[in-house]
Structure 1
Amino acid sequence: MTFDVVGTLIDFEGGITGALAAIGREAGVAVDAEAALAHYRAARYMPEALRFPDDLSRVYGVIAPKLGLPTDARYGEQLLASVPGWKAFPDAPDALARLATRYRLIAMTNARRWAFEHFNRALGNPFYAAFTADDTGTEKPDPAFFEQVFAFVEKDGGTRGQILHVAQSQYHDIGISRKLGLTNCWIQRRHAQPGYGGTIEPESFTVPDFHFTSMAGLADAVESNRAA
């Protein structure tokens, strides 16, 4: 199984909005979480964007005036410094531990390696292997990212046909995994909320092979299928 990390396993939206809310409390400004995510999404995908999450300090400078927050550079650094404390979704560590008893788990993240190391610890270090933007030199949905993972899997004795790709982002993962012929599983983290939050909206929606609203749902289904 290959996994997106940020947004699927790690609650990056909660991490960002929590950090912005803390800045807002200090400045006496109430921050609307959904508005903040919409501004974040637009800023994050500007042409001058840097690697994630290093780009957060630049992003803050773009979105702070729109949210009525102070624009001092130190607050952008404060947002970036929040990354090591971002939480795993409550269901993710247990679900990954359960899945790891049956499958080799491979992380595929657009985050830089330093950030992934924090996320991996928060998740209980469940991965057999991990590919970050630092390792691949590119970001999903670039097919080249996936091809490097395929090469690793094939060198390890597997095939791409054996992979189940698990992710929440239609744009970064589900659409491109379908085009590359993978079986995929959409973890719809925002099932109780409208829109795409902090993740870029895809040009078109891809119906996944499997669909759950949590990692626990996926792990339960795997165990039920094995017991049948």
Structure 2
Amino acid sequence: MSKKPLSAFRYISFDVVGTLIDFEAGLTDALHAIAQENGVALDGEEALGHYRAARYMPDVQLFPDDLVRVYGVIAPKLGLPADAANAARFRDAVPAWKAFPDAAEALASLKQTYRLIAMTNAQRWAFDHFNAALGQPFHASFTVDDTGTEKPDPAFFEQVFAFVEGEGATKDDILHTAQSQYHDIGVSRRLGMTNCWIERRHGQTGYGGTIEPASFTVPDYHFTSMAGLAAAVTTARS
């Protein structure tokens, strides 16, 4: 069966951290600053690997407050001081995380056609900073504080479905867009949504700071940037 054309959707739902906000750069920039002050040579990809493992331990907490705990786990592995001050500093760098260079412009363009919905495993305090960095483009937003659960839990998606149903739509009216195969692309396929994979790590090996999926899901749409999606929408509507 052929996929729905981009012009057929009323909504685009977005993962935020990793798709729109460059969390890998945010994490490694903060760690590099601490490393430099302590005369430590830091490998960014190695640091992301330790981060990924720490984030999926049994005692994981809500993100990004969990970065305090994560720092305590990864600092000794990276040769960094595992003190409370630097752990708090690691978390407190979150408001300075930058959007990908193409994100805000692409969202502003897409907003002219669709209602945009943010779906993030981040807490509301962090999302408020991310939303401001992105130009506050969202029609609605769902954070872990709102849903009480994290993607890839289908219950997170079900709350979004209920929201659009309140506006006279269905999940078939949503294009779900994300970079994480594990958190978003696989589960959106299982839930019968049309999805769009933004492959932010194209040209790089591995999964960086994001957990590796049990299996790869071929997306309905695939771009290596948000700019690519926005351009495709412009073409589809011309």
Q: What is the TM-score of this pair, normalised by structure 2?
A: 0.95
Aligned match of 1:103? 114
Overall identity of the aligned pairs, in %: 73
Helix, strand or coil for the counterpart of 1:185?
Answer: strand
Alpha-carbon deviation of 1:156?
1.1
1:155 aligns with 2:166: yes
Equivalent residue for 1:132?
A: 143
Aligned equivalents of 1:61, 1:155: Cα separation in 2: 43
Pairing partner for 1:68 from 79, 91, 106: 79
Which whole-Å CA distance do the structure 2 matches of 1:165 and 1:10 have between them?
A: 16
CA-to-aligned-CA distance 1:67-112 (integer Å, 9 cap, x gap): 0011111111010010000000000000000000000000000000
Partner of 1:112 in structure 2? 123
Alignment partner, residue 32 of structure 1:
43
Cα distance between partner residues in 2 of 1:31 and 1:56: 18
The whole-number CA distance in structure 2 between the counterparts of 1:151 and 1:31 is: 45
Deviates more, 1:107-116 or 1:68-77: 68-77
> Which structure 2 residues correspond to residues 12-31 of structure 1 after superposition, within 5 A?
12-31=23-42
Give the paired residue count: 227
Q: 1:175 aligns with which of 181, 186, 195?
A: 186
Name which of 191, 198, 206 aligns with 2:209.
Answer: 198
Aligned twin of 2:9: none
TM-superposed CA distance for 1:136, in Å, is 0.2
Q: Which runs of 5+ in 1 are unaligned?
A: none
3-state SS of paired residue (1:105): strand
- CA distance in 1 between counterparts of 2:38 and 2:84 reads 14
Q: Distance in 2 between matches of 1:164 and 1:113?
A: 23
- Where 1:184 maps in the other structure, the secondary structure is strand
Q: Which residue of 2 aligns with 1:6?
A: 17
1:188 and 2:199 matched: yes
Residue 216 (structure 1) aligns with: 227
Paired with 2:42 and 2:164, the residues of 1 have a C-alpha distance of: 44
* Deviation readout 1:112-150 (Å, 9 max, x if unpaired): 000000000000000000000000000000000000000
Q: Which amino acid aligns with 2:111?
A: A
Give the unaligned 5+ runs of structure 2: 1-11
C-alpha RMSD over aligned residues: 0.4
